[in-house]
Every structure is written in C-alpha cells, then in structure tokens.
Structure 1
C-alpha cells in the first residue's frame, strides 16, 4: 500500500498564479461544503453507509472518506512536514489517480466494512482541523488555495453522487425504505404545453476561460472558450414531463426497435426496460429519496439513459440538442431552478413559463446529442490533477444544467457533465430540439 507522504503530491507547482479568493472566503466555503456532506450523510445508518448496490455506485462512507483523502493528499500533502492520518488508507480511498499510487478496486468498495463509519468521520474531523489550522497560520500558498477550491467543487460532485448512489441502494431493498421520510411531497401541479423557442443561425462562443488563469472557477474540460457555428434550430421551452413520456410508453416506444440505437435496443432487450428507472409496473408510482411516491405527470421525467432520451426524441419527431445549442440558450439565463439546496430532492413541475425557456438549470440533467470530447486547445491541469477529466473523454455523452440533487453554486452555463449512454441512476432527463429552416 502506498504511503501518502509529501513525495506523492501532484506536480501542481506549474499552475499559474491567479487572483484567488481571500483566505477567509475560501475557508468559509470549505467549511460550508464539508458540513453539507455530513448533513447529507446524517440520515444514514452505518449499514446504509457501506452498502454498494452496483459497480458504478459507491458507498456513502467511501464518498465521505475519498473527498477527505483528496484534501489530505493534494493540499496538506504539499507540506513536507505533514504526516498522513493513516498512510494505509491511501490505497482504500484513492479513486482513479494512477499517478498517486495503486487503489482498491471500484466494484469492491462495498466490501470495506473497516474502517468504520465512526473512524471515517474522525478522519474527516482530523483533516478539517489541519486545514483550519493551515488557514489560521496563513500556511496555504496560492497553489494550495487553488487546489483546495478545486477540492470543494470535487466534494460537491460527490454530494450529488452520495444522493444518487444511496437512492439506488435503497431501491434495491425490497422494503423500498426512504432516505428521509420528511421530504415534502410535491403539491398538485399543472404544466403549460411545451412551446418551441427559435434561434437563428449564428456563430456563438461556448466554454469558459481556463482556470486558474481566470479568476472564476471552471473545470478544465470547460475550456478554452471557442467559437462554434450553430445552425438555425429551436429548443423546447421546458424538459419533457412524465405525462409526455408515459404517452411514449403507451404508444409502444419500448417495443419498437426502429426508434432505438442498436446498442440501446440491445440493452432494452437484455435488461427488460419498459419505463424509466424507479417507476413501478403500472406507471403510477416511482421510488424517490422520500420512498414510493405518486408520479407527478407535470414534473420532468428523470432517470433516463441516453438511449431512452434519444428514442423518445425520435418518436416525438425531434432530436436532442447539441451542447453548443444548449449553452447558447443558457448563457443569458440566471441559475434558477430546483436544486439540492431546496431540500426536495425530486424534480418539480415548472412554474408558469410565459414564453421563454424554463428549467434550464436544476431539476434534471439534460442529455445532449454531443459526445464528451476535448474542446479545441484543451489542456489538462498539471500533475496528478491532469487525471481529473481528460482521460474520460471516450465513449460518454454530455449532459447539461444540473439537477434537484446538485448544489446551486456548483453550476454554470458552461458546466459539462458526462455519463455513459446506458447510465440512468442519475437525475437525467431531456429537452427536445429540432432543426429550423
């Protein structure tokens, strides 16, 4: 097992200087994010926290430990005098940083009954104390501050994964237990018919300036800004809702191979898909983080794979938007929607939409027609952090906008999420697009 000494730290000294947040603001953000993770894990028993229901998911306990490992290795580990809390845990809680050393196999994370949840929480507290002390001594150099800021966004990603992973785990339990019984049930709602919002052909700029050269945080896969020719098109004013998706099911959408990508149809046949993940057989109720609930017909449909989103769009005589089309539409809009901060943890029907675009942010991640790849001129961060995004640019598809499980201040118009086409345990839905003459 690897020893997490300072010699294992990433070569981040090549990171250029930037106009960083003040220490006090960054310290406050750090404490807020770390406290939020504990609050999300609080409803879980130690047994809940170690269960792993599939290879793509991770136990809640592992999420709590891995995010702590990130700060310990990449921030505290920059100090040659720092001594790791438990050097042998480095092997357990490294995720995929090959340059930082070997790691425990991802599909076997649920076998880690030791360390206990109490020991993991003590580990978090010890690392938090060390970070607080470093702030108090003004001992974090500009590069350490940059990596710490990255770490807070990294932890927010794991907060969403903690919720989606425990939802899948609890759904696998025949009792269908709720993550939280006190989550509000959506009030009776209604929804306006979806309308088409047209966009003329244009050359648009998408992407974000490379951080940390730029003052505003963005992941490396969002950069650099570049121009794209976007043909004339239209976007639906809101995401597809449950009632509309139910019509697709009732029309035999899961029985018509002509609607599906070849690989998608093979998945439908092999796994017996007949509806979105978590719907019951009659399509009246679905499993939520609040337990089994009646499906709101006007709320955005969620837990769809790329294959299902694409098949629905084809059935509807439309298509999925490209990520350039999506970002062009989202850039002028405020980041407003239903997020994890709202403590509903389930997509909600839109408010009165008027004539504009609704729910571009929050509620459900929206599948796009764009493969996840590098932008022209893309550069990874240096050292071990080069492994953060770039090496996953193969065989995945881009989703945009965030979900009801995403922290609000984690999102922006340029944010690129990505998953494999069959994945559907995330809060993923779709918005239609069509070509215009």
Structure 2
C-alpha cells in the first residue's frame, strides 16, 4: 500500500475506527431491511449486482485482505465462497462471472447475514492487532464498503425500475424533505482559480491511491456554474431537438443515441404533452423541474454543454473550486431511508456562491480517468483496486444523494464509462474566459 497515504493520527484512533467500522457495517444491513429474498438476489443487468452479493462481497474483502492474511489461526467461513464473492481481483484467482451473480439463489440471504456476523465478530476481536500493523487496510475496507452502499442503492433502483409494478424502496415522505417549497436558483458564473493549483490529496485523512500524489496543475481563466443543470433546463434541451440531430454530439455519443434509442435521461417517461415522470426510489414520481437532472451519461452531459454554449469542467477546475469547502454538507446518505436529488435554493449555497458541490448528483467532468503524475500502483492484490481501470472512462466529482456522508472529499475521483448512467450522475457547466 505504498502510495496510500495514512490519515492524520486523530482519524486513526482505534475507538474512532471501531465506531466507523460498526456504523458502516450496520448501515449496509439497514439498507437491505424490508427487502425480500428475491429483491436481494435478482440482477437486472451486467453492470449491476444483487443486494445479497454486495453484502457478501464487502464481507469477503475484510475476510480476505485482513482476517485471512493477517490474523493467525483464522479459518474461512466457507472455503467455496471466495470464488462467488471475489469481484475483479486477478491475484485472488478464478471467480464467478459478473453477469452470473444473479444466479446465486444459494447461499441464502440468511446465510450471507450469518457470514457478515462471523466476520464482524472476528474483525472486532482482532482490531487492536490489525490497527497496530495494518490500519490502512482496515480503513480501505470501510471506504470500500461505503462505495458499495451507494452501488447497492443504485443497482436496486435499476432492478425496481424494470418491474412493471414500479415498486417503491422508500416512501415519498422519507425521500423528499424540503422544509419549504424550493425556489428557482438562477444560474450564474463563478470565476475559478487561475495559475498553478495543487491537485490531489493533501494527506489530511484517507485517500485512495488514485488521488495521489499531490501535484501542481496549471489552470487557465475559466468559470463554473453556481449549481448543477436542472430538470427544467434539460426539458428545454429535449424540446429544442437536443436528441434529434448529430450536431451537438460526439461521434460515439451519437452512435449510442441511435443504437439505444435514447431521447431523455434514464428512468424518464412521458413527454411535453402528458408531462414527464421519472422512476425514483419511491417509485414513479413527477419530474421536479427545479431539482438537478440525474441519470445522464457523459455523452448526454457533453451534448447538453455544447447546446448551452458551454463545456464540462476539467476535474482540476472542479477540485480547485471544491478545496476548502465542507465535504460533509449537501444532500448525502445518512441512514437507511435515502434522499433523492433535490432542488437547491438560497439556503443551500455555500459562502463561495456554490450549491451542491458535494452531494445531490455526481458531476461529469471532461477529463479522462488517467493516473496523476507520479502515480504508483500499490503492491499486492489491493493494487488492482483503481489503477487497472484507468482506460476508456471519465471522471465524476462531488458525490451524490446516495453517497454516505463523510465518504466524499475535494480530491475524490469517481469514474465510469461514457455511456453509463444508472448512477446519480448530473452536470455542472463550465466555460473558458
């Protein structure tokens, strides 16, 4: 783990890490409460995984990289299960094909939960030893599970969206929490930093290896929008023929639009005459015109930016704007009843004039996912965590309504392929000055 910088000492206090370990493990179980066995087993597409698999895989991570490797005398809960619940670690050997995860009717949910109990008990018993020698791996396991908590929700949303009954995961009152009716927040431009900027983790807390090393980056004059693009603005884009002609689109993007028959964000139905609806974690709901648009691909984000006479920000521009701002603010996941992307009004604007830099929706940047200058892959199987995916993907920043609060930071780099949009992905515009 040579390029995974240790957090500050205060963040590494054993009691603090034990509390976060327990809270994270409990939240995963809470997110699955109320689901039946079928809800947790079915897989709706190869990109998504069943809830049961997420619960087991995050447990396998702790069992494999901590208990098996670093706790003398530990015995695997079931020697057959590493084949089932390894994700993509070539160094860990053969594994079940990703599209086949939904075929795992066995083990049952009850057996997976027993697996979690077994590993949790062993982890708590071994934590003093693990903290002394392998604290960075414990932290990595917690952060890894937080990533899967967001994936669990977005994968479940995709599954439920395919059900003709339109089932709700959470009631409306749990997902829409406006204290007062939201007001339109006019779009305005905020000038960004210019010249040399320090980009990447500053070492004050945990960082994934892809956030390192910190390095200088030159920023030319630019401005960022004060808020993400709204549903109302996206409806204007549709009405103006945004999906109807090739002029706004990258070549690959236009091929994707025609091949897939794309004419609106994922989970939208209806149209100008009947009105737009979108599938949410509370089932089918009317599109809120003031909420940020979500579930759009990089291709769509880039085409919209062209239509708006703007562009997508670089990830360096985005990070420079986010530095020094509170990553704990905004609309993020706090408990098992997740919120949905929601409209911002003046009350959600920070002291720099930005709304929703953290939370609400992940924001596409125009930057390809590549290593920072000086990046080195960590030794061992955990070196496969990020580096080998640095090809053909684009970077998103900021976190979403399904990102566990405390997981995001200014240097955090999320990444997806340009056609993917089942995550809570949105758009913040930029322009060159």
CA positional deviation for 1:189: 2.0
Q: How many residues align?
A: 419
CA positional deviation for 1:80: 3.5
Which TM-score applies when normalising by structure 1?
0.92
Q: Quick one: distance in 1 between partners of 2:422 and 2:246?
A: 23
1:254 aligns with 2:243: yes
Which TM-score applies when normalising by structure 2?
0.93
2:339 pairs, out of 345, 351, 365, with: 345
Q: Quick one: distance in 1 between partners of 2:311 and 2:414?
A: 19
Q: Which residue of 2 aligns with 1:5?
A: none
Change (3 A) 1:415 1:50: same
Q: State the superposition RMSD in angstroms.
A: 1.8
Q: Which residue of 2 aligns with 1:333?
A: 325
1:72 pairs, out of 46, 63, 70, with: 63
CA positional deviation for 1:420: 0.1
2:45/2:99 contact within 8 Å kept: yes
CA positional deviation for 1:379: 1.4
Q: Which ranges in structure 2 are unaligned for 5 or more consecutive residues?
A: none
Query: 1:141-156, aligned counterparts within 5 Å?
Result: 141-156=131-146
1:127 pairs, out of 114, 119, 135, with: 119
Q: Which residue of 1 aligns with 2:46?
A: 55
Q: Quick one: distance in 1 between partners of 2:237 and 2:429?
A: 14
1:368/1:397 contact within 8 Å kept: yes
Counterpart secondary structure, 1:286: strand
Counterpart secondary structure, 1:126: helix
2:401 pairs, out of 404, 412, 430, with: 404
1:264 aligns with 2:253: yes
1:321 aligns with 2:313: yes
Q: Quick one: distance in 2 between partners of 1:357 and 1:16?
A: 29
Q: Quick one: distance in 1 between partners of 2:377 and 2:154?
A: 28
Counterpart secondary structure, 2:330: coil
1:197 aligns with 2:187: no
- The CA deviation string for residues 80-132 of structure 1, in whole angstroms up to 9 with x for no partner, is 31110001001000001110111100011000100001100000000001111
1:165 aligns with 2:155: yes
2:356 pairs, out of 351, 355, 359, with: 359
- The CA deviation string for residues 128-159 of structure 1, in whole angstroms up to 9 with x for no partner, is 01111213xx3325343221111000000000
1:234/1:435 contact within 8 Å kept: yes
CA positional deviation for 1:401: 0.1
1:381 aligns with 2:371: no
2:303 pairs, out of 294, 297, 311, with: 311
